[in-house]
Amino acid sequence: MTKLVAEQGMPALALTDHGSMYGVIPFYAAAKQAGIKPIIGVEAYVAPRGMADKEGKQDADYHHMILLAKDDVGYRNLLALTTAAHLDGYYYKPRIDKELLARHAQGLIGTSACLGGEVLKRLGQGDEAGALKAADEYRSILGDGNSFIEVQEHGIDDQRRVHPQLVELAALDPQPRTGESDA
C-alpha cells in the first residue's frame, strides 16, 4: 500500500488499527522506505461510562474514536492508551475512557470517527444536544485545533442522513485552523 500511495503522489499515509498498534513498526518502515510520511494512530474504543466499568450490555457498547500522533509525545501517549486499554479496560474490546484520554492527550489529534463514534451515534439517535456535548468534551480534552468532526462517505444511508448535522457541528467548532500539524 505504501508504494501505491507514493506512486499516486500522496505525501503521507495513516495507520489506525482497531484498538491496537500491532502494525505500527512494519508500517513505519514501509512508509519511510516508500518516501512518504507515516502517520501513526489508533481507532480507539471509548467506554461509555468508564473503562473500569464492566457490567452487561451497558458497558459493551463502546464508542469509536480516531487518535493520531502529532509528534513523539503523542506516539508515547498512544502507547500508554493502548496498553491501559488492554490491561485495565478490556471488556469485549480494549477500551479507554475520557479520563484516561485527558491524562494522555498531549500530542494527539482526534476525530469523531465513523457511525460508531459517540457524536455520530448520538446524532443517529436524534440526540443533537448530546452530540454537541460529546464534540465539545473531545475538543476540551484534546485542546484547541486537535479535535475534528469527520465526515465519511461509504454509500451508507445513515451516514448521508447525519452529514448535514456533522457539517453544522463542525461549523460550531471554535478552533482556529492555523495550518498543518507536525503529524
* 133: its cell numbers: 456535548
For the cut 50, the answer to whether the pLDDT of residue 102 exceeds it is yes
pLDDT, one tens digit per residue, over 18-31 is 999 999 999 999 99
DSSP letter string over 41-70?
Answer: EEEEEE-SS-TT---HHHHH--EEEEEEES
Please report which confidence band the pLDDT of residue 135 belongs to, taking 50, 70 and 90 as the band edges.
Answer: very high
Domains delineated in the chain: 2-171 (3.20.20.140)
- Residue 173 confidence (pLDDT): 56
Report the pLDDT averaged over residues 113-137. 91
The contacts of residue 166 (CB under 8 Å, 6+ apart) are 112, 119, 120, 123, 149, 150, 151
Q: Please indicate whether residue 35 or residue 144 has the higher confidence score (pLDDT).
A: 35
pLDDT tens sequence across 42-78: 999 999 999 999 998 888 889 999 999 999 999 999 9
> Burial letters for 25-45: b for 16+ Cβ neighbours within 10 Å, e otherwise?
eebbebbeebebebbbbbbbb
Close Cβ partners of 150 (under 8 Å, ≥ 6 residues apart): 66, 111, 112, 113, 114, 117, 166
Q: Are 168 and 151 in contact (CB under 8 A)?
A: no
Distance, in Å, from the CA atom of 9 to the CA atom of 20, rounded to the nearest integer, reads 28
pLDDT higher than threshold 50 for residue 36: yes
pLDDT for 1 equals 85
